[in-house]
Amino acid sequence: MTIGVQKSRALSGVRTASRPAPSLDISLKSLGTLIIRVSDTLLDWQDRARQRHRLGEMDDHLLRDIGLSRADLEHETAKPFWRD
């Protein structure tokens, strides 16, 4: 019985020793690229929300000038900020 326990301990040690360590190889360039992409997306969302808010404040005369109807306006302003 002791031999079986020793064998299993030896095998478990072999298994853990052969496992590669997880790699956290993130270069500064890829991290910088990620930060730029995230900030660009957030700025786009903020700009889109601001534009929709201002569009919602327009009166019928201004809407006609830019070729939109009240229904077009309601459809556009109902969209969430992350949707194009």
Indicate the pLDDT class of residue 20, thresholds 50, 70 and 90.
low
Indicate the pLDDT class of residue 43, thresholds 50, 70 and 90.
very high
Q: Look at 9 and 59; give whichever has higher pLDDT.
A: 59
Residue 51 CA: distances (Å) to CA of 45, 46, 54, 77: 10, 9, 5, 9
Measured CA to CA, the distance from residue 34 to residue 21 in angstroms comes to 24
Measured CA to CA, the distance from residue 71 to residue 73 in angstroms comes to 5
Measured CA to CA, the distance from residue 56 to residue 49 in angstroms comes to 11
Three-state helix/strand/coil letters over 26-64? CCHHHHHHHHHHHHHHHHHHHHHHHHHHHHHCCCHHHHH
